[in-house]
């Protein structure tokens, strides 16, 4: 059977790649894609831990379901914001929008 | 009487406010707003005509069309409205003038919707004062009328000019005028509110008729219901002056008058029309409706003081008007002069309670209120017409317009003569009645006022002299004459001036009946 | 043994697709990379015997989220085919942080004793049914479940509001010339 | 039509004409004057019908049962004020001369305003016409041009006529006052008819304001009468019982009875309207109006109204004079009248403007009438009122004709001279024969040329009454005034018509059209003939040949209230004096002025009279005096004292001081209480947080990715920390 560490490695790789994307990309959609990658990494982690450490329980699965729901919500709101921002500023480049500047 | 006429007063009272709300939902296009506002203001006028037709003139001294619903039951205040001859005349004046003022404001270009809405709310406020038979309701409407007027002056007032309040503090003239108007009236209302509440507490009701009955029958050295232990006579005196000051500020009586020239001069044309035409009458109405019936003894005692102030208003108002070069300010001061006669008549009626003189003086006073409403509105409108064309009100800038705009010249001449008191036109009748009523009672003050009457001629002629006569100023050579809309505004006013001048009985009959009732009430 | 191969292949594919997703300047292609990752994840779930989650992953992620992203890109038309640089100027910092993160995670996994462990027990064949019951049981997970639903609903309404918001025309009422006459 | 209905309708046609012209016909000159003249002819017709019917009824019967109708106008607590129409013998004679003169003046106006002439070259509304250039016989020359506000003129005079008819037919003082004031307005409008002329504008204002002084007193008098009697109708007020009561109750001021005080107040109205000293100043300036207006105001209507009023209220004055406990207003009236008669006559001697001479002569003649009322000779006053109306209208219209002729000459020759200055005239009798003869008749009537002219009879009657009543002061004053009157009349006639033309313009003067000369001829008939209705019985030869109709007729009105004067022995002294001053004055005038041959010659009287002549020429400096005493102080009082000082400085100053005080109080509370004590603590707290925030501001870039970067960097750092401690332990 595939060791848990393999899953964790894949997950870590996805997470790091997603983090890089979220940090380095210009486009807001691309940042969102990066974030989705990180969510997936977390999801994979959760499922892997459930399967290997506690297959009789429900915690891991429920955790995964909640992550799914949060991801869906996040993406919906994020994209809505994206569209609204695009309408208002005519651009969706995250580094050009600095309204929160102190 | 139909069932709907049972609610006629409420309808008259609230249709303008309702109209204002309708205006809110209509498109903001100026054309739509103007016509809608005109229609909304014509409805109360038509209803007033219905009221007039259904009014029982034989019982003009009593309140009719009474409606009464509980409002603040706990303190004895109610929504209580009704008309007698006096209110009827004032309501007629209000509903007659407001459509004309709205028609006159068709030249307003900015924020038409807000302007028209304020105007309609103003109408409700004014009508409420005349219709209310409950002290609290009266006060509410008294204050309501203030707010729209403030904004009308503040927002749509004349653009030019400024006043230095003290060195280093200069305000735009219209801001200054609006503030002054507001502060003065608020200052007066303060005492009025306290006095009203005192009356309400003492009598246990805010209902006018009940207050009247209970207040005047108070006996004993101290007031019931209030643990003040102050003598009744002192309380009555203080309350009397609280009322008098509040109303005197509004009339205005010298020396509380200086807000008037500023407010009238800076207000938009239609605002001045309503200010002079109706708002000043609120004060005089207060004297007739509240001061005289509630404080007959105090009024009688202090009548000479009041007469002195009124005579000063009549004399100094005329003199100050004569000293003006701003045409609009001249007309504004003329209001002080004319309203001085009203207060003089009130003072005489208070002094000679129950006599023929009192009746004649009060007939004159109420008729003068109506007449001044017509002539002052007309004069302000005509000055506005001139201002719309020339963008100046300085008399020194004009000259020789009688040849350029003969129609306007004729109309101005007519209105000015009505204001001056030419026999055959309205003001003469009322001035004659006032002189007839006051002379035997207060000869000295009447004589002083008559000197004012002399200067009335002087300032009217000054206006005519510089506007219409004299060498033509070249830049006005192509001034256009009055438009159809303007004629429609001034036409009804002129017709009524002439009608009341020739046949004053049209109004005097109902005024007389209600004034006889009032005088009988005063005589006890 | 097949599982090993499948795992290896899918994992590799996923990493490559993830790299495409975060580096390609064409957002549609980046989204396609993301879809590939999501799909790979579903495969891994099957390997982990989490069948319900695998199906949910396909339906929700690929069927909804990825499609949503594509729609968003298409709604903002020229964003999709923007040819500017994919990264902003400070991308080197991102590399540093992501690199640090990678080193840290790898270190951590490598030093974690349980990382090479095997599954302790098989999965109950009735597991999905039990999961369903547990989700709505008062003594189970009904509260997290409901909170998640509420969150979704709020997000939905919020998204609609935000995306709808800017439609009103601002500015003064445009006057027609005929109304400017006196 | 019943008499009462006819009376009601009498004033209406001119009013209708006014309305029609103003509203519809103001574009058409022809329609305007047609309507206006038609309306006054209608009123004239009605007046004549009423006059004849009145004659038919007879003086006694009419006086006892006058035509009277009224309706309720104002309510009162116990009594109602009624207004209505009324015709008694006095009304009838007044109506007679009013109707005639008004019609004549209307017809005359058509010619005077150059109807049928071309439009002027540079004429403009508000200025008199300047003449038009026409081509005739191959060369251009200037002719008079039509008045640019022709229609407006007829509108105004129609309203004026309405005012006068209203005044005459009133049965009460209130409508009388209405007519009175409407005429005041019209005189304002008509004096200022050429409203762009500075002098006309000033004159109009002056006229209105001066008469208004009187009007205010009169209004008070009317109000007082209403108070005292509860009515204003003649029939109620002039009831012997009411009069008795009024005469015996004291007024609050001046030690007068109520009747006397009211009479005095009403008389002040007359002083203003009839231009008696000291309110006479407006009338000479009123010459700024077109000449028909002058005739209207000074002859037929407005000034007559004042005298008509005091004759009308004579019973009241008489009643007041009968009670010795109270001061009587009669001596005051007599004094003012006599003084004015002499005073104005002296000024008239030194005036060169043809209309101005007539204006002062009017004041003087009105003084005669007022003085006559003051000595109780109301019949004589009424008689002189009527004859004076005729001959003074004639004189004014004649002078207008002269001016018109002179203007023609001025236009023709292009000379820059004043066409109204008598020194520029001379020899016009040959150029304008009709005008000359009619003017001569009018002038002789004014001078009281014995026997043939109406003026002689009326003036003689006043002098006779004064003499008979032993009012010697009045008698001699009036006699001297009569001498001066004859003198300046002859001066005027000599300078204007006799001798040779002194200017080119006078040589080219022209007789005026028939519309102007016919009224002159009609009026001259009355100027002669009307005297014959009042020949006193005692007059040698003629006395008794004709009945003294006027005495019977007007006397009948008042003998209900006024006790019949005892027949005094009619001395011939006043008669001889009258003849002497008249003829002497005329002769003197001719002798002194026939030698004037040049236009720029000084007045022959200037040298002998010296500074007195300058004083007369400047009208005793009354205008300057009034400007100094009343106008300027009043203006200062209005603009500087009341407005700038009292309102702006004192009242607003107090207000602003209160405002400033409140403002400063607020500032004090804010600066010394709120800010340091209460806000100080909070501010310190806030400032700390603010400084802290400023420190951290740098990391708030507003970029999402920065935040994420920082967060992840910390995760990394945290992981490293965990690892470090894990490996350490």
pLDDT confidence band for D541 (50 / 70 / 90): low
pLDDT confidence band for C175 (50 / 70 / 90): very low
> How many structural domains does chain A have?
1
For D380-429, the pLDDT digits (tens) are 888 888 888 888 888 988 888 888 888 888 888 877 888 888 888 888 88
pLDDT confidence band for C169 (50 / 70 / 90): very low
Mean pLDDT computed over D28-53: 89
Mean pLDDT computed over B332-342: 92
In percent, the amount of chain B with pLDDT more than 70 equals: 97
D with C: touching (≥3 Cβ pairs within 8 Å): yes
Q: Apex CA B232: angle with CA B229 and CA B235, to 5°?
A: 90
pLDDT of residue C81: 55
Give the chain B residue nearest C178 (alpha carbons). Answer: B31
- The CA distance from D618 to D615, in Å, is 5
Interchain CB distance below 8 Å, D709 and C101: no
pLDDT of residue C168: 47
- Whether D257 has a pLDDT exceeding 80, the answer reads yes
pLDDT of residue C83: 59
Q: Which of B184-193, D16-25, D133-142, D361-370 has the lowest mean pLDDT?
A: D133-142
In percent, the amount of chain B with pLDDT more than 90 equals: 38
pLDDT of residue B438: 92
pLDDT of residue D151: 86
Sorted by sequence, the CB contacts under 8 Å of residue D685 that are 6+ apart come out as none
Are residues B325 and B395 in contact, defined by beta-carbon separation less than 8 angstroms?
yes
B163 bridge partner residues: B171
Q: Is B436 helix (H, G, I), strand (E, B) or coil?
A: helix
pLDDT of residue C182: 40
Q: Which of D112-116, D234-238, D307-311 has the lowest mean pLDDT?
A: D112-116
For D609-667, the pLDDT digits (tens) are 888 888 888 888 888 888 888 888 888 888 888 888 888 888 888 888 888 888 888 88
pLDDT of residue B331: 92
Distance, in angstroms, between A31 CA and closest chain D CA?
A: 9
- The CA distance from D369 to D367, in Å, is 5
User: Average pLDDT, whole number, for chain C?
Assistant: 79
D713 touches chain C (CB under 8 A): yes
Token readout for B401 is 């317009």
pLDDT confidence band for D598 (50 / 70 / 90): confident
Give the chain C residue nearest B389 (alpha carbons). Answer: C182
- Whether D20 has a pLDDT exceeding 50, the answer reads yes
D701 touches chain A (CB under 8 A): yes
* Angle, helix D173-191 to helix D198-229, in steps of 10 degrees: 170
- Whether B2 has a pLDDT exceeding 60, the answer reads no
pLDDT of residue C179: 41
Mean pLDDT computed over D210-222: 90
Q: Which of B37-46, C111-120, C129-138, D251-260 has the lowest mean pLDDT?
A: C111-120
pLDDT of residue D700: 66
Radius of gyration of chain A (CA): 17
C100 touches chain D (CB under 8 A): yes
Q: Which of A69-73, B404-408, C119-123 has the lowest mean pLDDT?
A: C119-123
For D41-91, the pLDDT digits (tens) are 999 999 999 888 888 888 788 888 888 888 888 877 767 788 888 888 888
H runs (alpha helix) in D113-239: 150-169, 173-191, 198-229, 234-237
Q: Is C63 helix (H, G, I), strand (E, B) or coil?
A: helix
Give the chain A residue nearest C87 (alpha carbons). Answer: A25
Sorted by sequence, the CB contacts under 8 Å of residue B482 that are 6+ apart come out as B385, B405, B407, B408, B411, B490
Hey, where are the domains in chain C? 1-86, 126-165
A with D: touching (≥3 Cβ pairs within 8 Å): yes
Q: Which of C151-155, C158-162, D89-93 has the lowest mean pLDDT?
A: C158-162
- Complex ipTM value: 0.67
- Whether B478 has a pLDDT exceeding 60, the answer reads yes
Interchain CB distance below 8 Å, A80 and C162: yes
- Whether C152 has a pLDDT exceeding 70, the answer reads yes
- The CA distance from B160 to D458, in Å, is 65
A94 touches chain D (CB under 8 A): yes
Residue with more model confidence, B211 or A99: B211
Distance, in angstroms, between C173 CA and closest chain B CA?
A: 8
- Whether B464 has a pLDDT exceeding 50, the answer reads yes
Give the chain A residue nearest C115 (alpha carbons). Answer: A5
Residue with more model confidence, D64 or B457: B457
Interchain CB distance below 8 Å, D701 and A23: no
- Whether C171 has a pLDDT exceeding 50, the answer reads no
CATH architecture for the domain at C1-86:
Up-down Bundle (1.20)
Interchain CB distance below 8 Å, C179 and B31: yes
Mean pLDDT computed over D497-518: 84
In percent, the amount of chain D with pLDDT more than 70 equals: 94
pLDDT confidence band for D464 (50 / 70 / 90): confident
Residues 310-349 (B) with a CB less than 8 A from some CB of D:
316, 319-324
| E strand residue ranges, D4-138 | 67-74, 81-87, 132-136
Size of interface C-D (CB pairs under 8 A): 28
- The CA distance from B347 to B488, in Å, is 38
Query: Residues B72, B77, B82, B88: is their CA dihedral positive or negative?
Result: negative
For D110-149, the pLDDT digits (tens) are 888 887 777 877 778 878 887 778 777 767 777 788 888 8
Give the chain C residue nearest A75 (alpha carbons). Answer: C65
| Residue D565: DSSP 8-state | P
pLDDT of residue D118: 79
- Whether C181 has a pLDDT exceeding 50, the answer reads no
Interchain CB distance below 8 Å, C173 and B28: yes
Chains that touch A (3 or more CB pairs under 8 A): C, D
pLDDT of residue B41: 92
- Whether B49 has a pLDDT exceeding 90, the answer reads yes
Decide if A54 is inside a domain.
yes
Residue D204: CA count within 13 A, CB half-sphere: 29
pLDDT confidence band for B48 (50 / 70 / 90): very high
- Whether C22 has a pLDDT exceeding 50, the answer reads yes
Token readout for D185 is 């307005």
Sorted by sequence, the CB contacts under 8 Å of residue D698 that are 6+ apart come out as none
Interchain CB distance below 8 Å, C155 and A77: yes
Q: Is D633 helix (H, G, I), strand (E, B) or coil?
A: helix
pLDDT of residue D303: 85
Interchain CB distance below 8 Å, B31 and C173: no
Q: Is D172 helix (H, G, I), strand (E, B) or coil?
A: strand
Print the domain residue range for A22: 4-96
DSSP B296-363: HHHHHHHHHHHHHHHHHHHHHHHHHHHT--BHHHHHHHHHHHHHHHHHHHHHHHHHTTTSHHHHHHHH
- Whether B98 has a pLDDT exceeding 90, the answer reads yes
D703 touches chain A (CB under 8 A): yes
Distance, in angstroms, between B110 CA and closest chain D CA?
A: 32
Mean pLDDT computed over A6-24: 90
Are residues A30 and A44 in contact, defined by beta-carbon separation less than 8 angstroms?
no
- Whether D12 has a pLDDT exceeding 60, the answer reads yes
Decide if A102 is inside a domain.
no
pLDDT of residue B225: 66
pLDDT of residue D234: 86
Mean pLDDT computed over B277-289: 91
User: Average pLDDT, whole number, for chain D?
Assistant: 84
User: Residue B31: its chain C contacts at CB < 8 A?
Assistant: 179
Are residues A92 and A27 in contact, defined by beta-carbon separation less than 8 angstroms?
yes
D693 touches chain A (CB under 8 A): yes
Give the chain C residue nearest B112 (alpha carbons). Answer: C179
pLDDT of residue A11: 92
Mean pLDDT computed over D574-594: 86
- The CA distance from B212 to B353, in Å, is 17
| Residue B123: DSSP 8-state | H
Interchain CB distance below 8 Å, D709 and A23: yes
Give the chain D residue nearest B422 (alpha carbons). Answer: D181
Q: Which of B130-139, B346-355, D9-18, D569-578 has the lowest mean pLDDT?
A: D569-578
Interface-testing mutation among C16, C40, C50, C170, with chain A (most A C-beta atoms within 10 A): C50
- Whether C173 has a pLDDT exceeding 60, the answer reads no
pLDDT confidence band for A41 (50 / 70 / 90): very high
pLDDT of residue B127: 93
- The CA distance from B305 to B350, in Å, is 12
Distance, in angstroms, between C173 CA and closest chain A CA?
A: 21
Decide if A101 is inside a domain.
no
Mean pLDDT computed over D344-348: 90
- Whether C174 has a pLDDT exceeding 70, the answer reads no
A67 touches chain C (CB under 8 A): no
Interchain CB distance below 8 Å, C173 and B30: no
pLDDT of residue A98: 59
pLDDT of residue C170: 45
C95 touches chain D (CB under 8 A): no
Judge if pTM exceeds 0.80. no
pLDDT of residue B3: 66
């Amino acid at each position: 059977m595939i060791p848990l560490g393999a899953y964790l490695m894949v997950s870590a790789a996805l997470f790091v790649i997603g983090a890089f994307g979220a940090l380095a990309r210009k486009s807001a959609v691309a940042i969102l894609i990066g974030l989705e990658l990180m969510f997936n990494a977390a999801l994979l982690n959760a499922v892997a831990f459930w399967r290997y450490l506690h297959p009789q329980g429900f915690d891991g699965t429920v955790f995964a379901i909640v992550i799914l729901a949060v991801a869906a919500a996040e993406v919906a709101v994020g994209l809505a914001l994206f569209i609204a921002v695009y309408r208002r500023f005519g651009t969706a480049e995250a580094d050009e929008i600095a309204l929160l500047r102190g | 009487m139909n069932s709907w006429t049972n609610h006629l007063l409420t309808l008259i009272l609230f249709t303008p406010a309702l109209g204002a709300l309708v205006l809110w939902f209509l498109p903001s296009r100026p054309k739509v707003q103007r016509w809608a506002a005109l229609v909304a203001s014509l409805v109360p006028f038509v209803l007033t005509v219905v009221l007039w037709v259904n009014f029982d003139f034989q019982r003009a001294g009593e309140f009719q069309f009474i409606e009464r619903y509980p409002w603040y039951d706990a303190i004895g205040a109610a929504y209580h409205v009704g008309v007698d001859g006096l209110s009827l005349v004032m309501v007629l004046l209000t509903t007659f003038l407001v459509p004309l003022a709205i028609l006159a404001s068709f030249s307003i270009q900015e924020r038409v919707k807000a302007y028209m809405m304020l105007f309609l709310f103003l109408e409700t406020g004014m009508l409420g004062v005349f219709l209310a038979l409950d002290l609290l309701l009266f006060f509410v409407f008294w204050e309501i009328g203030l707010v729209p007027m403030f904004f009308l002056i503040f927002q749509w007032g004349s653009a030019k000019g400024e006043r230095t309040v003290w060195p280093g503090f200069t305000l735009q003239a219209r801001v200054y005028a609006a503030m002054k108007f507001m502060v003065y009236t608020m200052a007066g209302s303060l005492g009025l509110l306290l006095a009203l509440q005192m009356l309400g507490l003492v009598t246990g009701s805010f209902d006018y008729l009940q207050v009247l009955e209970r207040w005047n029958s108070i006996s004993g050295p101290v007031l019931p219901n209030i643990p003040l232990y102050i003598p009744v006579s002192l309380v009555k005196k203080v309350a009397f002056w609280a009322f008098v000051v509040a109303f005197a500020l509004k009339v205005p009586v010298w020396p509380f008058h200086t807000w008037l020239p500023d407010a009238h001069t800076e207000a938009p044309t239609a605002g001045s029309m309503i200010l002079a035409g109706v708002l000043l009458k609120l004060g005089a109405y207060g004297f007739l409706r509240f001061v005289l019936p509630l404080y007959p003894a105090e009024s009688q005692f202090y009548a000479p003081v009041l007469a002195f102030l009124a005579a000063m208003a009549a004399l100094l108002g005329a003199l100050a008007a004569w000293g003006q070069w701003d045409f609009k300010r001249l007309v504004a001061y003329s209001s002080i002069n004319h309203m001085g006669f009203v207060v003089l008549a009130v003072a005489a009626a208070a002094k000679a309670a129950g006599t023929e003189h009192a009746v004649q003086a009060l007939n004159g006073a109420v008729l003068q209120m109506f007449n001044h409403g017509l002539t002052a509105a007309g004069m302000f409108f005509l000055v506005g017409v001139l201002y719309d064309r020339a963008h100046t009100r300085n008399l020194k800038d004009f000259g020789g317009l009688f040849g350029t705009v003969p129609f306007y010249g004729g109309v101005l001449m007519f209105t000015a003569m009505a204001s001056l008191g030419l026999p055959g036109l309205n003001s003469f009748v009322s001035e004659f009645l006032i002189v007839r009523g006051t002379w035997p009672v207060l000869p000295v003050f009447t004589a002083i006022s008559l000197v004012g009457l002399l200067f009335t001629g002087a300032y009217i002629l000054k206006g005519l002299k510089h506007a219409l006569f004299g060498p033509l100023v070249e830049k006005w050579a192509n001034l256009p004459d009055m438009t159809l809309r303007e004629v429609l505004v001034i036409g009804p006013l002129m017709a009524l001036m002439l009608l009341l001048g020739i046949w004053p009985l049209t109004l005097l009959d109902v005024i007389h009946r209600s004034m006889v009732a009032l005088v009988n009430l005063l005589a006890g | 043994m097949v599982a090993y191969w499948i795992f290896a292949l899918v994992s590799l594919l996923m990493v490559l697709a993830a790299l495409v997703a975060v580096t390609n300047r064409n957002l549609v292609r980046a989204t396609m990379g993301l879809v590939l990752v999501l799909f790979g994840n579903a495969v891994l779930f099957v390997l982990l015997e989490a069948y319900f989650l695998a199906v949910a992953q396909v339906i929700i992620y690929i069927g909804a989220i990825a499609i949503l992203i594509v729609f968003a890109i298409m709604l903002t038309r020229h964003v999709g085919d923007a040819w500017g640089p994919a990264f902003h100027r400070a991308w080197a910092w991102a590399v540093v942080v992501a690199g640090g993160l990678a080193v840290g995670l790898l270190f951590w996994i490598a030093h974690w004793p349980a990382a090479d462990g095997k599954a302790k027990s098989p999965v109950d064949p009735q597991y999905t049914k039990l999961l369903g019951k547990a989700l709505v049981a008062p003594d189970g997970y009904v509260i997290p479940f409901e909170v998640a639903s509420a969150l979704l609903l709020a997000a939905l309404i919020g998204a609609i509001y935000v995306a709808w918001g800017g439609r009103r025309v601002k500015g003064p009422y445009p006057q027609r010339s005929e109304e400017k006459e006196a | 039509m019943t008499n009462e209905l006819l009376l009601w309708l009498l004033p209406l046609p001119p009013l209708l004409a006014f309305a029609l012209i103003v509203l519809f016909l103001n574009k058409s000159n022809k329609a305007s004057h047609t309507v206006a003249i038609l309306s006054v002819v209608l009123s004239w017709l009605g007046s004549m019908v009423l006059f004849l019917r009145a004659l038919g009824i007879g003086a006694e019967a009419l006086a006892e049962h006058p035509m009277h109708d009224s309706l309720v106008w104002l309510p009162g607590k116990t009594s109602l004020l009624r207004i209505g129409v009324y015709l008694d013998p006095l009304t009838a004679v007044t109506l007679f001369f009013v109707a005639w003169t008004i019609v004549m003046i209307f017809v005359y106006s058509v010619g005077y305003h150059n109807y049928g002439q071309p439009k002027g070259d540079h004429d403009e509304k508000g200025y008199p016409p300047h003449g038009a250039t026409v081509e005739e016989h191959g060369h251009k020359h200037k002719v008079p041009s039509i008045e640019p506000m022709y229609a407006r003129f007829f509108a105004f005079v129609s309203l004026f006529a309405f005012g006068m008819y209203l005044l005459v037919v009133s049965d009460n003082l209130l409508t009388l006052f209405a007519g009175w004031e409407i005429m005041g307005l019209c005189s304002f409008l008509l004096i200022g008819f050429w409203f762009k002329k500075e002098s006309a504008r000033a004159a109009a204002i002056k006229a209105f304001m001066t008469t208004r002084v009187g009007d205010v007193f009169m209004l008070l008098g009317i109000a007082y009468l209403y108070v005292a009697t509860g009515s204003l109708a003649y029939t109620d007020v002039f009831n012997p019982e009411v009069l008795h009561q009024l005469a015996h109750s004291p007024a609050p001021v001046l030690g007068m009875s109520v009747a006397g005080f009211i009479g005095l107040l009403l008389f002040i109205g007359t002083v203003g309207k009839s231009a008696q000293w000291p309110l006479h100043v407006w009338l000479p300036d009123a010459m700024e109006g077109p000449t028909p207006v002058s005739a209207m105001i000074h002859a037929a209507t407005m000034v007559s109204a004042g005298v008509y009023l005091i004759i009308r209220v004579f019973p009241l004055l008489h009643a007041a004079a009968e009670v010795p406990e109270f001061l009587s207003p009669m001596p005051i009236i007599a004094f003012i009248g006599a003084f004015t008669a002499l005073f104005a006559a002296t000024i008239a001697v030194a005036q060169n403007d043809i209309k101005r001479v007539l204006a002062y002569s009017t004041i003087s003649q009105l003084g005669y009438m007022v003085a006559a009322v003051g000595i109780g000779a109301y019949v004589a006053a009424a008689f002189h009122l009527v004859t004076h109306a005729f001959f003074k209208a004639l004189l004014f219209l004649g002078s207008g004709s002269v001016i018109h002729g002179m203007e023609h000459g001025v236009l023709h020759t292009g000379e820059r001279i004043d066409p109204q200055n008598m020194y520029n005239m001379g020899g016009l009798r040959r150029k304008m024969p009709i005008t000359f003869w009619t003017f001569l008749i009018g002038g002789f009537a004014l001078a009281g040329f014995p026997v043939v002219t109406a003026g002689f009879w009326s003036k003689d009657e006043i002098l006779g009454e004064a003499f008979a009543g032993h009012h010697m002061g009045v008698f001699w004053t009036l006699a001297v005034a009569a001498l001066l009157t004859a003198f300046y009349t002859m001066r005027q006639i000599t300078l204007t018509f006799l001798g040779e033309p002194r200017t080119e313009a006078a040589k080219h003067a022209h007789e005026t059209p028939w519309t102007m000369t016919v009224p002159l001829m009609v009026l001259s008939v009355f100027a002669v003939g009307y005297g014959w209705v009042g020949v006193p019985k005692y007059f040698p030869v003629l006395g008794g040949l004709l009945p003294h109709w006027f005495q019977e007729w007007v006397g009948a009105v008042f003998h209900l209230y006024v006790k019949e004067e005892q027949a005094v022995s009619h001395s011939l002294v006043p008669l001889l004096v009258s003849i002497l001053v008249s003829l002497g004055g005329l002769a003197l005038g001719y002798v002194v002025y026939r030698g004037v041959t040049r236009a720029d010659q000084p007045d022959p009287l200037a040298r002998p009279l010296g500074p007195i002549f300058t004083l007369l020429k400047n009208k005793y400096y009354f205008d300057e005096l009034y400007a100094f005493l009343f106008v300027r102080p009043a203006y200062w009082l209005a603009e500087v004292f009341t407005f700038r000082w009292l309102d702006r400085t004192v009242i607003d100053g107090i207000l602003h001081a209160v405002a400033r005080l409140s403002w400063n109080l607020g500032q004090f509370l804010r600066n010394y209480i709120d800010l340091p004590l209460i806000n100080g603590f909070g501010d310190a707290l806030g400032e700390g947080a603010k400084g802290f925030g400023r420190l951290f501001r740098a990391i708030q870039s507003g970029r999402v990715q920065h935040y994420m970067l920082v967060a992840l960097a910390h995760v990394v750092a945290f992981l490293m920390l965990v690892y470090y401690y894990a490996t350490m332990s």
